[in-house]
Structure 1
Amino acid sequence: MNTHTTRGLSLLAALLSLTTAPSAQTSVPSSHADSAPAGHGVATDAHPWVVVPMQARDPVNYITNLRDGQKLESPFVLKFGLTRQGLASISEEVQGAGHHHLLINRDLPLDFTKPLPFNDQYLHFGKGQMEAVLNLKPGTYRLRMLLANHKHIPYFIYSPAITVQVTQQRASVKPESLLRKGVSLLTPQPGDVVKRPFRVQMHASGLNISHTQIRDKASGHFQLLMKGPNGAETLDFNHGHTEAWVKPPAGTYQLRLQYVNNATLQVSHETPWQTLTVQ
């Protein structure tokens, strides 16, 4: 196994946490709030459309944009998600929430009671980042996500390991050029026809997602606007959730995902409206 890593990985990860002050845009309605954490340290959202379906498993990390065995050139963007659990920055303890770590060519720790180390094979995303720019040398790498608390002590929440092959390191591509601040809906896609309940996967690029207990201007949370046959609804994910299962009444909806700054409660980034048909 090739274990080459680069000195710049930690710097690149830090670049992703940089945020600008949000522009004065939309104030956040406070009509929907999250409920207290439920079992397994999982918080559920109070809005009646947000459900935890029977098919949902225990919380798990996952990599959203790469597949096992993929060949690629560096630098490249690695995106990661989390189901049934919220994100929070490490500035203070938040029950039932954590932050991502990327393990490069490392197995899961033998002792889950000790903090994860800080080096180029354990990348920490303590501000609530959902992606990283990796600038790896050519070689084969095993990648795995692992969630930990504010003290970097891991939960039993991790992704399957995937192996990728870096075929070339492109000196002409500046890693920072791959950073694009914004939010996106990974699922559903525009024009999709879905059955209830359906999965909503949210992603933030160059922005930090955190439980609203963290009132930091460098942190924010998702909210989903849904305009349907019976009016408009706002689904706030105040616990730092990046994924949800939603069960609205059947009909045609317009969806928009927004990023809400935790300190100012202003919307700084949002997606275009997209159409969704719910059966």
Structure 2
Amino acid sequence: MRPSTRIAFFLLAASAVLPASAQTPPGRTHPWQAPPPRLTAEAYFTNLKDGDRIETPYLLKFGLSGGWGLAPIAQPGRAKSGHHHLLVNRDLPLNFKEALPFNDQYIHFGKGQMESVLTLEPGTYTLRMLLADQNHLPHFVYSKPATITVTKKNPTDPKALSVKGLALQLEGPVVKRPFRVQFHASSLNVAHESQRLPETGHFRLTVSPASGTPAVMDFVEGQTEVWLSPPVGSYSLRLELLDNVTPGEPLVEAVSASVRVVEQAP
């Protein structure tokens, strides 16, 4: 999957309206969830692509596909989890059984972050995302390289670019089934609920039809995207980031979006 500014969500298809109790038990998929079109997992940029020309400071955002989730290095997560790394002018490691180094070309996001502010000087750079486990051993989950040009470095305070909050992104106000939705948390950390780490949370998505019972989906293993295939109709989506220490407690104000779902593409 090519990095893109679009956002994706991973869910499993269903054709029927949900029963009265529509909250998905932890660890279970909801009937409206659909498998992603490509089963290969990827760490990727959500707002940067190969050939882009940017000015710095620049808020770079990360995505993670294939059902994988974020897990900070403080504790092990499940098998399909890890934390992001940004590689600057570096190829993928030749040996995936060696821990990644700590330097300016291998930038670690071991708290479960989903973004970073680039402060690169003007010039050409090749950037790449790579997921690794709590021991910094790489997974085979990475992005294609993106060669970009920094045209100017501005005097903007980098801290001013990252404001605490959530983003819920869709491919548009009208989508065909299945469609991808992606979650983003700024200045907030994402982790498995079971890790119980302070100052981390997990996403909850509530999908409400125009009439009928809302579907509530908890992404307790650090997932940051999902694919959905609900019945045709109009829906409102509400995204929350819930505290992993205090159950049900939101870490920040929720965000909402509306979407109209039409028939599958021929």
For 1:125, the aligned partner's letter is F
Root mean square deviation of aligned Cα: 1.7
- What's the offset of the Cα at 1:197? 1.6
- What's the offset of the Cα at 1:56? 2.3
Q: Which residue of 2 aligns with 1:261?
A: 243
Distance 1:233 1:31, change over 3 A: closer
- What's the offset of the Cα at 1:160? 0.3
Match 1:145 to one of 129, 144, 169 = 129
Superposed counterparts of 1:192-207, under 5 Å: 192-207=173-188
Q: Distance in 1 between matches of 2:217 and 2:175?
A: 18
For 1:239, the aligned partner's letter is E
- What's the offset of the Cα at 1:80? 0.9
- Post-superposition Cα deviations, 1:133-189, rounded to whole Å, max 9, x if no partner, equal 11111111100000000100000110000011112222x211111111111112244
TM-score calculated relative to the size of structure 2: 0.85
Q: Distance in 1 between matches of 2:200 and 2:251?
A: 11
Match 1:173 to one of 145, 153, 156 = 156
- What's the offset of the Cα at 1:214? 1.4
Equivalent residues of 2:55, 2:153 under 8 A apart: yes
Equivalent residues of 2:162, 2:186 under 8 A apart: yes
Distance 1:69 1:138, change over 3 A: same
Note the residue ranges of structure 2 that are not aligned, 5 or more in a row. 1-20
Equivalent residues of 1:182, 1:205 under 8 A apart: yes
- What's the offset of the Cα at 1:271? 4.1
Q: Distance in 2 between matches of 1:148 and 1:206?
A: 21
- What's the offset of the Cα at 1:219? 0.8
- Post-superposition Cα deviations, 1:182-220, rounded to whole Å, max 9, x if no partner, equal 11112244xx11122211111111111111121112111
Note the residue ranges of structure 1 that are not aligned, 5 or more in a row. 1-28, 36-44
Equivalent residues of 1:210, 1:239 under 8 A apart: yes
Question: Is structure 2 residue 226 aligned with structure 1 residue 247?
Answer: no
For 2:130, the aligned partner's letter is L
- Post-superposition Cα deviations, 1:217-239, rounded to whole Å, max 9, x if no partner, equal 21111111111122212111111
Superposed counterparts of 1:124-139, under 5 Å: 124-139=108-123
Question: Is structure 2 residue 58 aligned with structure 1 residue 81?
Answer: no
4+ runs deviating over 2 angstroms:
29-35, 268-274
Equivalent residues of 2:206, 2:239 under 8 A apart: yes
Equivalent residues of 2:168, 2:257 under 8 A apart: no
Q: Which residue of 2 aligns with 1:234?
A: 216
Question: Is structure 2 residue 147 aligned with structure 1 residue 163?
Answer: yes
Match 1:273 to one of 253, 256, 261 = 256
- What's the offset of the Cα at 1:30? 11
Superposed counterparts of 1:8-19, under 5 Å: none
Identical aligned residues as a percent = 47
Q: Which secondary structure state, in structure 2, belongs to the residue aligned with residue 51 of structure 1?
A: coil
Aligned length: 238
Q: Distance in 2 between matches of 1:123 and 1:186?
A: 26
Match 1:99 to one of 80, 83, 90 = 83
Equivalent residues of 1:217, 1:264 under 8 A apart: no
Question: Is structure 2 residue 25 aligned with structure 1 residue 33?
Answer: yes
Q: Distance in 2 between matches of 1:34 and 1:272?
A: 22
Q: Which secondary structure state, in structure 2, belongs to the residue aligned with residue 267 of structure 1?
A: coil
Match 1:211 to one of 181, 188, 192 = 192
Q: Distance in 2 between matches of 1:247 and 1:169?
A: 43
Q: Which secondary structure state, in structure 2, belongs to the residue aligned with residue 231 of structure 1?
A: coil
